[in-house]
Amino acid sequence: GGLYKLQKLYLSYNLVSHFPLDLYVGKHKLTDLVLLDISFNRIQAMPIQRLSSVPAKQLSGIYLHGNPFYCDCVLYSILIFWYQRHFSSVVDFKNEYSCLLQSDPRGHNKLPLLHDNVMNCSESTVNSSFQAFGFIHDAQVGDRLIVHCDSRFSDTGTQFVWVSPDNTLLEPDGETDNFKVFPNGSLEITDAQLENSGLYSCIAINKKRLLNETIEVRINVSNFTANRSHAHEAFHTAFTTLAACVASIILVLLYLYLTPCPCQCKAKKK
């Protein structure tokens, strides 16, 4: 009972200036909270990294539109990620997400946050945010990798299947080399190989609630040994070139300063 069972909290149109992170992380978090309407307040920044551990079931119910956010590529990346996940809190209010440049705190020129990347955010920034929220996973050849299917419908009545990049269906009861799907939807790659790289789709199906969701996850497998070999070769080539240049400079200096001048010799003989 009490607040620990709270499911919905409406705080819109108040003067809240900081996101209430304690509702989602920490000792007193509310695990049943599936809707937080904190729209049209005074929040300027979000604790994005701290929210990365919060399940999609809760994240999808956070309504943030109408706040005077500062323009930030990490915030942009996460909102785009939620938009791609079809979170109604972002999709339904796309035009009400805007941001202010820190050089313009009075908001004379508001920028639309979710329109054509007006902030020109780099791909690396976007990808790092996607990695934090489990959309992109990196592994080395031979690694054991477990990828979670963070569905909004992850209750006891939900079934999970995965589709690999080559369109192979991966099921909890199926026997597939190098792959294993757990009943909770997690996918295990027991011995990652380069050919395992690509876009995977987790499909969550809840027949009782007539709901389904597809979550796409990108897995990148690289060969550290090969990369290290290429790096070693590049270093060796660069070092050889540098050594040759230094040797040439030394020879030139020796020629200039140690070779006797013919004019001086003739003068001494006279």
Residue 66 has what pLDDT?
A: 96
Residue 270 has what pLDDT?
A: 46
Residue 253 has what pLDDT?
A: 62
CA 101 centroid distance within chain: 23
Three-state DSSP at 7 gives coil
The residues that bridge with 62 in the sheet, in sequence order, are 36
What's the rounded Cα separation, in Å, for the pair 66 and 100?
12
pTM of the model: 0.76
Q: Concatenated DSSP letters for 17-33?
A: -S--GGGTSSTT--TT-
Sequence letter at residue 12: S
Sequence letter at residue 11: L
User: Given 3-state DSSP classes, what are the helix, strand and coil percentages for the chain, each rounded to the nearest 5?
Assistant: 35, 20, 45
Q: Residue 228: CB partners within 8 Å, gap ≥ 6? A: none
Mean pLDDT split into 10-residue runs, the chain, 270 residues? 86 97 94 97 94 93 96 90 93 94 76 80 82 88 94 86 95 86 94 95 91 93 67 57 64 62 51
Among residues 57, 111, 112, which one has the least CA distance to residue 87?
Answer: 57
Q: C-alpha dihedral over 180, 181, 183, 185, to 10 degrees?
A: 150
